Every structure is written in C-alpha cells, then in structure tokens.
Amino acid sequence: MSFVEYGDTVKDGDTAIVFLGHESMFPVKVQHGTVTQTKYGVIRHSTDLIGKKYGSKVTCSKGGWVFILHPTPELWTVNLPHRTQILYSTDISIITMMLELKPGSIVCESGTGSGSLSHALIRTVAPTGHLYTVEFHQQRAEKAREEFREHGVEHLVTVTNQDVCKNGFGVSNIADAVFLDIPSPWEAIGHAKSALKAEGGRICSFSPCIEQVQRTCLAMEEYGFTEINTLEILLRVYNVRTISLQIPDLGKAAEDNSSTAFDSSNPSNQGSPCANLQQGTVQFKSGVPLREMVGHTGYLTFATKS
C-alpha cells in the first residue's frame, strides 16, 4: 500500500479507511490478529480485511457492514490525527494549481504540522519529484517521518526539524515552489528566495490574519518577488429546489390569449406544466445559497520569483 501507488488488495501493515458513511469514517492500521470495534460490530483483520479487495463490503459481527477504502490524500485529510490546525481540500486544490505543481516538481514546505498538505503535495510531484518539509516542533517532525514511512512515501519526502526563519530549508536554487504556513512568514521570505530555482519559482504563504498578509507582501516586494496577489477561498453551496410562484393578473386580454392557447378540457393537456397556468401558479427550478456556509480559513498570498 502506498498513498501514491494504488494497491488492489489489503495487506498486513496497510493503512486502510473504514467507511461507515459520508460523515463517519476512520483510518485503521491493518495487523494480523487484531480486531477493530465499530457500531456495527467487530472487524477481524485476519479474516475480514487481509486479502480482500479495496472497496469491498465487509460484514461486521453484529450483521452491519462497512466499506474498506484505499487511502488517498483527500480521505487522509478528513481522517488524520490532528497535531495542529490543518488545510482542507478546498485550499489545497487552489494551492496545487497556483504553484503550478506537476510530476517531477521540487517543493519546499514549512511547517509540516499534521501532514494534510504534505500528502497532497507528495501525490502531485510523484514519482520523480521531491518534497522538502521543515517542522520546528521535534515531536511533530518525528511523527511525520513515521507516517510517511508507514504510508510508503518516505522516498519522496525529506523531513527536517529546524527553525525555517533562522536556518532555511536546507536546499538552495532547486525548488520549483515554496509553501509557508508559519506565524511569521515574512521572516522566511529570504530563505524561500534562496531555495527557489534561479527564475520563475512560485511561492505561497497561508495566513489567517490580514496583518500577517500585509507584512508578508512588503517582504516579498523587498526581495524582488513579482505578481503578488492574495485571495481567499470560500465554499458556497447552493440548494436547488422547485418553487411555485403566482402568475400576475395582466388583464382580460391576457386571459383570452391564455384560453385560446391552452384547452384545459383536452385530456392530453392534463398534468402538463401549462395546467398550472389555469390555476394561477407556475413551477420552476431555483438555486439559492444555504443560510449557513463555511467561514474564513485563511488568506493565500502567491508570488513569482523574478
């Protein structure tokens, strides 16, 4: 099993996703002789998981069933153990696009945190690219190394435990892109410029406060970055529904035209949309935003090395 290479069957040592529903799933480390408790009963790894195809329906001891899914960065993002606040797929998708990442790209990241973005970056640059990720906190760095090893992507990532604002990324003039998610990104802009390739490298800084954005933009200008722009991603969901509106009374002439064009006594017209015209209402599809929506997560500032 690997997060960047699809495996057909579940093997001992794999990380799999137990899917109970769209709002209920969790990761499990598959181990011979181990059992996992769910609300539908026990899952026995030796008989219920190992050797089964990913995507299979597994019947639990109480008669209920779950699906066993192959892990992906998207599924890991909604199931990972939180060591820090994380980035979700809405922001991750625009970061990947705006940094112009592709297989073979070299990316520098700080900080690693819970590894949500890291897994997506690794999957994007595989199989020939590489991620250099820096984490200030020693325990979080060690845990990230352990997870990358368990997920079969350790050959695509280098984890460094150091302060990026003081010591940089540990590489020079090779990165196609740099991503910063730290409290004071303006202090790391100089190191980011040193890590980027000679010309055309992209940088992205994620900050929750506009004051951080202002100082970061000033630092980018000072170090000669161009095409500086900041954006915010807000997911707005629309609810499509059928609504009925009353037809306005346009006078007797309109009534005469309506009666001429539509014969309600004709059986073939019964139940048609035009039948509602005789009843004074008309139905149509309408899209309206939900009353509540996901709020602010952070500002994304992008720039290009000149």
Residue ranges and CATH numbers for the domains of the chain are: 9-71 (3.10.330.20), 75-234+295-305 (3.40.50.150)
- Structure confidence at residue 276 (pLDDT): 47
Name the nearest CA neighbour of 300 among 177, 158, 141.
Answer: 177
218 φ, ψ (degrees, to nearest 5): -65, -40
116-125 and 89-98 helices cross at what angle (nearest 10)? 40
Contact by Cβ (8 Å): 98, 204: yes
Task: Encode the chain (306 residues) as per-residue pLDDT tens digits.
Answer: 789 988 899 999 999 999 998 889 999 999 999 999 999 999 999 999 999 999 999 999 988 899 999 999 999 999 999 999 999 999 999 999 999 999 999 999 999 999 999 999 999 999 999 999 999 999 999 999 999 999 999 999 999 999 999 999 999 999 999 999 999 999 999 999 999 999 889 999 999 999 999 999 999 999 999 999 999 998 888 889 888 888 877 766 555 555 555 454 555 555 554 444 445 788 888 888 888 877 889 999 999 998
Known binding-site positions for S-adenosyl-L-methionine:
114-117, 135, 163, 181
Known binding-site positions:
114-117, 135, 163, 181
- Structure confidence at residue 275 (pLDDT): 47
